[in-house]
Amino acid sequence: MALEPMGWPSSPDDPGTPKTPKDHYGHRVTQGTLCSSSWNSTRSGSVCTHVQGSEPDGQGSALTDPHVSDRDEIEPVTATLAEAFHNDPVWTWAIPDASHRRRRFGCLWSLLITSAVESSWVWSTAEAGAVALWNPPGVPDLVSPYDEEVDEVIDRQFGSGAERLRSVLAAFDQHRPTSPEHFYLNMFGVRDDQRGKGLGMELLALNPEAIDALGQAAYLESSNPANNKRYLAHGFEILEEFSLPEGGPTVTTMCRDAPQVPSH
């Protein structure tokens, strides 16, 4: 999922994707610079991947108590993300029935978050005002035993909409790069009553600094075009964009290269 300068294997065009310029690998090129040629797209094998919620631009510094979330915070973290994605373009298309959307989000994403807290890379601010869920390199979206439960949860909660949801998750999975090794921003969102305070963007700035210190790259999917400029401002670059099946909305994938090690 992304747009970049060179080195990205081509993927088929979606008929529903707007006509935009392409690089010589066949990727559509949008505004913004491209990541380095070391990234390879296409990967398979994960079950559950997700995108980012939105936050209006805030003023000043309002970050409070950024920390790694633990099991005691699974419920408020899940509630924040379910709220943040309620009106997201991708997820409103994936789950058209708004009356059930938040509950279905909660059931599915609590599984994802419960799995992720074990890797110690679910970050939040005070009272889960802003949340960033990262998967470290080599850590799957769902670890055992949660990976064995996800299909049952999808079938039970989504009923006739289960296949559309699976098509969204499969599209994310198909476009996620296999290399270089990277941290994956699986979910990122801000609670409605905390938007506009800069919480999300400060959390987004803090996490990549820690990732840089580990010498690692980072990757995300943006499900809302309004957020792309914010990710660009924090060092991410566009990798590619793709449209979801059946004329669904467009997703932009972005990467942030690992810091260069000075040569001596």
Q: pLDDT of 35-44, one tens digit each?
A: 555 677 544 3
Query: How would you list the strands of the sheet with 237-243, edge to edge?
Result: 67-68, 122-124, 130-135, 182-190, 217-222, 250-256, 237-243
SS3 of the chain: helix, strand, coil, percent, to 5:
40, 20, 45
Per the CB < 8 A criterion, the answer to whether 181 and 102 are in contact is no
- pLDDT band for position 46 (50/70/90)? very low
Mean pLDDT over 135-158 rounds to 90
Confidence of residue 30 (pLDDT cuts 50, 70, 90): very low
| Overall average pLDDT of the 83-100 stretch | 91
Query: What pTM did the predictor assign?
Result: 0.78
Residue 175 has pLDDT above 70, yes or no: yes
CB-neighbour burial class of residue 27 (10 A; exposed 0-12, middle 13-18, buried 19+): buried
Which residue, 103, 62, 7, is CA-closest to 201? 62
Q: Answer whether residue 260 shows pLDDT above 70.
A: yes
pLDDT for the residue numbered 114: 92
In this prediction, residue 263 carries a pLDDT of 62
The predicted pLDDT at position 202 comes to: 81
**128 - beta bridge partners?**
none
pLDDT value at position 144?
Answer: 87
Residue 263 burial by CB count (10 A; 0-12/13-18/19+): exposed, middle or buried?
A: exposed
Mean pLDDT of the chain, nearest integer: 78
Confidence grade of residue 200 (pLDDT, cut at 50, 70, 90): confident
Q: What is the model's pLDDT at position 262?
A: 66
In this predicted structure, what is the pLDDT of residue 167? 93
* Residue 65 banded pLDDT, cuts 50, 70, 90: confident
Average pLDDT of the residues in 90-101: 90
Angle made by CA atoms 92, 94, 95, in degrees to the nearest 5: 65
Contacts of 56 (CB under 8 A, 6+ apart): 195, 196
- The torsion of the CA quartet 188, 194, 198, 203, rounded to 10 degrees, works out to -40
- Give me the residue label for tokens 């600094």: 209
Element (H, E) at 185: strand 182-190
Q: What is the DSSP string of 16-28?
A: TS----B-TTS-B
Task: Give the up-direction half-sphere exposure of residue 152: CA atoms within 13 A in the CB hemisphere.
Answer: 6
User: What CATH code would you report for 67-174+182-225?
Assistant: 3.40.630.30
Is the pLDDT confidence value at 4 over 50?
no
In this predicted structure, what is the pLDDT of residue 13?
31
pLDDT band of 248, cuts 50, 70, 90: very high
| CA pair distance 62, 39, nearest whole angstrom | 34
Work out the average pLDDT over 220-230. 93
| Residue 64, pLDDT score | 78
d(CA 112, CA 212): 25
pLDDT score for 36: 54
pLDDT of residue 201: 82
Question: What is the predicted pLDDT for the residue at 15?
Answer: 32
Helices (H), the chain: 74-84, 89-94, 98-116, 150-158, 162-175, 199-213, 228-233
